[in-house]
Chains A and B, each alone.
Chain A
Amino acid sequence: MTPTEIRQIIRDFLLNELIRDESYPLKDDEGIISGGMMDSFALAELGVFVEEAFDVYIPDADLTVDKMDTLDLMVARVLQG
């Protein structure tokens, strides 16, 4: 899967399942957790989604604001494997 495809799949998941507003203009470097649109539970949901969609396990200690705040960071973490 290419980085562009991964980005699109995560973007769709964030907008449909977590932010719950498909029309929201989410930027690649926008602080999603620090901006109050995702909480700890949404991070756990994202962790399980990434496992199921890309077969990549993200350890609990990596599911933090520092490491997963933006779409860019999330894509980079998935690509890291």
Chain B
Amino acid sequence: MNFDLALLGIAAVGALIFNFFVPQSWRESFLLTVSVTALFWLQPPLPIRWSGFLLPFFLLFLVIWSWWLTKPADQRSMDRQSWQTLAIVLGLVLLLACVRYLPPGWRPTLNRPPGIEVVGALAALFALFMWLIQGKKVERFLFGMLIIIGLFVMVKTEWIVVQISTVWRTLANQNPSLAASTDIFWLGFSYIAFRLLHTIRDRQTGQLPDLSLQKFVSYTLFFPALLAGPIDRAERFSQDWDRMSELTADDWPRWQKGLTRIVQGLGKKFILADALALGLSLNPTVATQTDSVFWLWILLYGYAFRLYFDFSGYTDIAIGVGILFGIELPENFDRPYWQSTITAFWQRWHMTLSSWVRFYVFSPLSRTLLRRKPRPSPQLIVFVSQMATMIIIGLWHGITINFLIWGTWHGLGLFIHKIWSDRTRKWYRQLQTYPRRLLLWTWFTRFITFHFVVIGWVWFVIPDFASAVDLLGRLVGY
């Protein structure tokens, strides 16, 4: 994750300015400005000329176009406030493009933007596009969702990325034979795409509240959640946003709450996760160099905890920074490895992603199947819905065979647990009247659940199928 302490220091200074110096009526514009700047600033440098600038620019375009799609059909005209927001955003993009003319040591990022005339032309085209589409009453929800899903599939499939890179390198007069899957790293796209899909789908079903352009852009690009989530919901973000002008700078409990989360996150990420990464965590190289079954398991446990501390530590920091700016991002983790069923694990691991997939895949799919006449067997519906849900969660991380298997592994686990819990529910309720037996059973199932998850991580940490199978064999002594 592209995150360091310097960045956190800048966020802390930003929070002080936001709370103590920015007039209340300017806070929303300030947050919009910071979030758009962060989109360009945090984008890692890429080898293809201008791509490090054009990718965030295109993402900005996608976000604003999606906002237009989520407007109620009779309110698609760009009002004065929307034009003002667009002007601020495009003005900011032009300003950010000016870093090209700074000496290399002075540039905030290693990305060198295109010349100001190119960015100016792109910004003008952008404004012209918004002017042309305003007021159109065409319902294009499905089209919008397919575009986003299509882009998602493109950037998550290694082979397609290499093809895009080859074409892009050719257009940029760079050597196409050097095209690699690492050429296109689109910062935040996985999270932003899911926020956009949520808003478009909720507009389609009539559940999305009306969001101004300023609020919509700030929601999708809210800077603490740009790198690795959480995936907030627009209606929840909107409530905090509307209260932002009421925030008082000397609200010490809020400062304490935010700073405590940041310190907790720093401890998890930079002490625990980084300490494990120093040699007690599995990676593809270490996996090939370790023969001992005992140490392979220790390293795999180490990887499981490093992943948790790293990701949940990052989330703590994002939530803490959010609180300093008056936005309470949703929780993403709640003691996942302490759970005694795989279902409970998925209710507490990457909670905002699993909730998203439950709302937009599992629930609609299972309800559609339940409504069919004649109704398929409940087991079949559960199987299809769980598999679809978990495979999508797997492929969200990248379209590879290993992520597909990882998703399938968890889908099967959830399905088996569902069948088991349906059949043993009465027995389990009776067990609750025997506290000692219940405790023993809970520890046993906790052990099983943890190891089910840990074995699944093999498909996550090892990038290719053959090496993952080899490692699984060696974990059981083959």
Contact = CB atoms under 8 A, between A and B. Distances in A.
A47 B421 contact: no
B49 interface: no
Given A45-B370, A59-B207, A40 B362 contact: yes
B343 interface: yes
Contacts of A61: 202, 207, 233, 359
A77 B406 CA distance: 37
Contacts of A43: 363
Contact of B364 (A19, A21, A60, A64): A60
Contact of A39 (B370, B371, B418): B418
B429 to A, nearest CB: 8
Q: Which of A19, A24, A44, A51 has the most chain B CB atoms closer than 10 A to its own CB? A: A44
Interface string A43-64: 1110110010000000111011
A41 B366 contact: yes
A21 B426 contact: yes
Contact of A44 (B205, B370, B422, B429): B370
A19 B362 CA distance: 21
A37 interface: yes
Nearest to A62: B207
A34 to B, nearest CB: 10
Contacts of A24: 429
B426 A20 contact: yes
Contacts of B343: 39-40
Interface in B237-276: none
Nearest to A63: B363
Given A20-B425, A21-B425, A61-B207, A40 B363 contact: yes
A50 to B, nearest CB: 11
A47 B364 CA distance: 10
Interface residues of A, number: 20
Nearest to A61: B359
Contacts of A44: 362-363, 366-367, 370, 385
Contacts of A41: 366, 378, 381-382, 385, 418
A25 to B, nearest CB: 11
A48 B370 contact: yes
A39 B358 CA distance: 11
B360 interface: yes
Contacts of A63: 363
A40 B358 CA distance: 8
Contacts of A59: 205, 207
A68 to B, nearest CB: 12
Contacts of B202: 61
Interface in B162-206: 202, 205
List 10 A-B pairs, minimum CB-CB distance, nearest first: A60-B363, A44-B366, A48-B370, A60-B359, A44-B367, A41-B382, A44-B363, A48-B367, A61-B359, A21-B426
5 contacts: A37-B425, A41-B385, A48-B367, A48-B371, A61-B202
Given A48-B367, A60-B360, 18 more contacts: A21-B426, A24-B429, A39-B343, A40-B343, A40-B362, A40-B363, A41-B378, A44-B366, A44-B367, A44-B370, A44-B385, A45-B366, A45-B378, A47-B363, A60-B359, A60-B363, A61-B202, A61-B207
